Amino acid sequence: MIHQSSNFDFTFLRHGESVGNAEERYQGRADYPLTDAGRAQARALAERWLKDGMKFDLAVTSPLVRAKETAQIIADILNVPIEEDPIWMERDNGAMSGLTREEVMKLFPEPEFYTPYDSFGESGEGDWELYLRAGRAVHELLKRPAGRYLIVTHGGLLNKVMYAILGIPVQANSNGPSFRFDNTGFAMFRYVPSRHQWRFLRLESPA
C-alpha cells in the first residue's frame, strides 16, 4: 500500500558492482550479473537502511540483471515490492557495448568536436536522446501516486536524470557537470507538487 503523502520521495540508486564493472567494460545494454562484491554492497546498503528505518512503497528497477539483482537484494531485506520498467535501462551505447576501455579507445577515438545530437557508439543514444529519456522517466514517476520510491538504475542514465531534475542543459563535447555515481551510490530528492519544488536531500557514495 502506498504511504499516504502529498509529496514524492525518490532515492535514485546505481546498481552494485557487476562483472562488467570489474572488467572495466562499457556495459550499456550488455547484461552482466553482479559480482560477489556487488551483492555484498547491496546487502550492506539494505541492512544500513533497515537499521536507519528507511521505508519505500515501491522499488522500480531497470530490467538489466545487474540492476534487478541489486533491487531484489534490497527489496528482500526491506520488504518492498518490485516493478521492472525498461525506461530505466542504461544508455544504449551502440557498438561500444561490452567492449573494454582499451578496445573503445582503439575502435572509437573521441572526436575533437561532437554535438549532443550525435549518436554514441555509431548507433547508440547520444547525449540529447539520453537526456530526453531521463526526463520522460522522471515524468512517468510523477504520474504515480505520491509516496516513497526506490529507483534502481545505471550511472549513465542517472547523470542525465540529475540534469533533468536540476534543469541543466546538455552541451557539446559532453561539457558541463558530471554527476558520478559509484556502485550503490545514490541521490535522494523530495518533490512537492503543490509548489513544483524539488528538494535535493543527499548525494552519497558507499564508504
Residue 82 lies in a domain: yes
Positions annotated as catalytic residues are 15, 90
In a domain, 121, yes or no: yes
Residue 207: the pLDDT is: 60
- Asked if the structure places residue 47 within a domain, the reply is yes
Q: What does the block give as the cell for 107? A: 575502435
Q: CATH number of the domain that 124 lies in? A: 3.40.50.1240
The reply to whether 2 falls in a domain is no
Quick: pLDDT tens for 71-124. Answer: 999 999 999 999 999 999 999 999 999 999 999 999 999 899 999 999 999 999
Q: C-alpha angle 184/186/191, rounded to 5°?
A: 155
pLDDT per residue as tens digits for the range 4-33: 579 999 999 999 999 999 999 999 999 999
In angstroms, rounded to a whole number, what is the distance separating the alpha carbons of residues 151 and 84?
Answer: 10
Residue 60 maps to a domain:
yes
Angle between helices 65-78 and 36-52 (to 10 degrees): 30
Number of domains in the chain: 1
**pLDDT more than 70, % of the chain:** 98
Range of the domain at 41: 8-204
**Averaged confidence pLDDT in the chain:** 95
Exposure b/e, 49-64, CB count within 10 A at least 16 = b: beeeebebbbbbbbeb
Structural domain contains residue 125: yes
